[in-house]
A and B are shown apart, each in its own frame.
Chain A
Amino acid sequence: GRKQSTITNYFVRS
């Protein structure tokens, strides 16, 4: 299946 994305794909390091 598709690789599970991670939360950091949506929120960038500040």
Chain B
Amino acid sequence: MLELRLVQATLFKNVVEALGDLFSTAHFNSSRTGLELQAKDNSRVTLIMLLLRAEAFDHYLCDRGLSMGLNLAGMAKAFCCTNNDDIITIKAEEDWSDTVTFTFESPEDGDEISYFHFDFMVINGVPLEIPEYPESEYQAIVRMPSAKFMPICNKLSSFGDRDTVVIISVDKESVDFLSRGKTGTLTIFCRETQTVDKPKEPTLIEMKEKVSLMFDLRYMNSSKASTLSDQVTISLSSKLPAVFEYKITEMSCIRYYMLPRNE
């Protein structure tokens, strides 16, 4: 039996919306610790993982882990007409015919309740075991406001043809983004900033050694979940998938894993 409730549908709607236009299907796995969503596209160089811990829910009942393959794009379309302040309940039973029900209830009078039933689908390739590599495994870790990172991704797309590449280079005090497309190149330099009075604002760089990695621009854009979080942490290594992490609340986060392209 799985029964989860959020008294505000906003967070769940935003997550499904942010991911629904990038990944058509996703694997939901519920356990005692929380609800984990994994999605990957057929490029096989990116994977996204969202973890909403049980504490993030107002009611979390999961007596047996449930693994559900769902149509994320279909959910995003269905939920776009619900209200952010609706109460959302997610319910599934093992014995039911592989279906999960999302209930949206208007909070004040509860006079309107919408039941969305989604059938489970088989999704290849996910879920995957994602080891948590310690920070020491990465050559450089950059933390910056997502309000700063999102416009950078947009600018990098200004040359946005399909095969535009982005090179992210980290030095002691700066992180540079270079995008090279058919029509030209764009280089954006970001210096490290220290604004002690605004703890959420700074661009911080922890560099163990210089690193410069190339990514497909189209996957960089997928890390636009920044609307869900005020800070992005970018962990870079020439030996591991890069991680773009957005903490949504203390208990929840979204991580985009991206493999650098071979030079």
Contact = CB atoms under 8 A, between A and B. Distances in A.
B20 interface: no
Nearest to A7: B47
B182 interface: no
Given A1-B262, A1-B263, A2-B262, A7 B257 contact: yes
A4 B259 contact: yes
Given A7-B47, A10-B131, 14 more contacts: A1-B263, A2-B262, A5-B259, A7-B128, A8-B44, A8-B125, A10-B257, A11-B129, A11-B241, A11-B257, A13-B127, A14-B127, A14-B128, A14-B129
Interface of B: 40, 44-47, 125, 127-131, 240-241, 257, 259, 261-263
A7 B129 contact: no
Given A1-B263, A4-B262, A10 B240 contact: yes
A4 B128 contact: no
B263 A7 contact: no
Nearest to B240: A10
B45 A11 contact: no
B63 to A, nearest CB: 20
A4 B262 CA distance: 6
Nearest to B29: A14
A7 B45 CA distance: 5
A14 B135 CA distance: 23
A6 B128 contact: no
Nearest to A5: B259
Given A2-B262, A4-B261, A4-B262, A10 B241 contact: yes
7 contacts: A4-B45, A7-B40, A7-B257, A10-B257, A10-B259, A11-B47, A11-B130
